[in-house]
Structures are given as structure tokens and as C-alpha cells.
Amino acid sequence: MPIHLPKDPPLVEVPTSQVLWRVHFLAYGPVWFGPAPGDAPRGRFDAPGGEFGVCYFGSSLGVALLETLVRGRKVPIIPRAELELRGVSAVEVKAPLRMLQVEGKGLPGFGISAHEVCGDDCAPCRDLALRAYRAMPDVDGIQYRSRWDTSELCWAVFDRARDRLGDVLGTQRLDDPAVVRPALLPYRHVGVL
């Protein structure tokens, strides 16, 4: 069943003071809007038919790791081989991002609970993203809660907001234990194998 998109949806602004954290394949770089042409959607808010690209971010390195490398796993163990292919980058917000608030106080506006956003079926979220992208050209993406740490925010930024993202403040390789260990400290049941 489609998620209701109200005429006056709940919106929030991601300020320029917010640092966005991104775990990404080193081959693509930190600001890359996927999926690649011809690839099936994989992310929660990806366009169902490739109508637009999405770049996913977390509010911390730890949550970016969880959302990228733990999602879909029954046991929260990150294979070392996955870390060898990826880096983590901190990205500035150059201009405030206007986002649909599909979390917290915004959920009742869509007539849904957190379960519909965090559940295994991504089709309703992808459909909502497509309808929002088409109907609201001034919306830059979707703000939602991490499935693995509901105290943390995540953002699905639409490709049309590319110019609102600022400089990459730094990129580190994830195969460096000095980067990953501190980020995973709050998540003592998540390991690397």
C-alpha cells in the first residue's frame, strides 16, 4: 500500500553546521548518486526505475557504517573484505537542505509508523521518494532514522541537490582499524571478521 504524501508534508532543514558522513566505495568517491544506470535500486529511497539518483548519509561515522555494511545481515559482523573496498568521508552542507521528515514527529503526517520506514519492504519508501521528487521540486531529499540506531538521523539526498553539498572535509580508508574501531565502540555487538 502506498505511503500517503500529504499536500503540506512535514519538512525539516539540515543546516550548514551539520556534517554528513558517508561510507562509500573508493572507486566512486564520496559524493555519488546511485544506483548506476541500469542497476536495480538497492537503497531504501532509491528511484524505483532509475528516475533520479540518491546519495545516502548518516549523522555519525558509526551510523554510516551500520547503515551501509550491517544492513541486511542477521548477525552484525562486517567482513574485512568489505572494509578494504570502502572509505568514509565527511561532507559539508553548503546550503541548507530541505528534507521530507519521514521520522519522529513527521511520521503521523504520512500516516505511517516507524515500522513502515524501517521494515524489510523498501517498495513503499521508493514509491514515496519518486512521488516527492516529481511533485516537490524544492525538496532536496528525505530525512529518516537509522534502522540500526534509532537515536541517529540519516539522509537520502536527491541528485538535484548536488550543489547544496559542500567540500569533502576528509576521506579515510575503512581498512584502517584506527578509523573503524572508535566508530563502532558504541555498538559493542557489531564486529569485524
The predicted structure's pLDDT at residue 77: 86
List CB contacts of 182: < 8 A, sequence separation 6 or more.
Answer: none
Residue 78 lies in a domain: yes
Count of domains for the chain: 1
- CA 189, CA 133: separation in Å to the nearest integer? 37
Residue 4 lies in a domain: no
Q: Which amino acid is at 122?
A: C
Residue 6 lies in a domain: no
The predicted structure's pLDDT at residue 25: 94
The predicted structure's pLDDT at residue 42: 93
Residue 17 lies in a domain: yes
Residue 1 has pLDDT above 90, yes or no: no
The predicted structure's pLDDT at residue 104: 96
Residue 82 lies in a domain: yes
Average pLDDT score over the chain:
94
3-state secondary structure of 132: helix
- CA 170, CA 172: separation in Å to the nearest integer? 7
Residue 137 lies in a domain: yes
The pTM assigned to this predicted structure is 0.95
Rounded mean pLDDT of 171-184?
A: 94
Rounded mean pLDDT of 18-38?
A: 94
Q: Looking at the chain, which runs of residues are DSSP E strands?
A: 11-14, 20-25, 54-58, 77-78, 86-93, 97-101, 141-145, 153-158, 165-173, 191-192
The predicted structure's pLDDT at residue 113: 92
**Per-residue pLDDT reduced to its tens digit, 71-118:** 777 778 899 999 999 999 999 999 999 999 999 999 999 999 998 998
What residue numbers bound the domain in which 54 lies? 11-192
Residue 5 lies in a domain: no
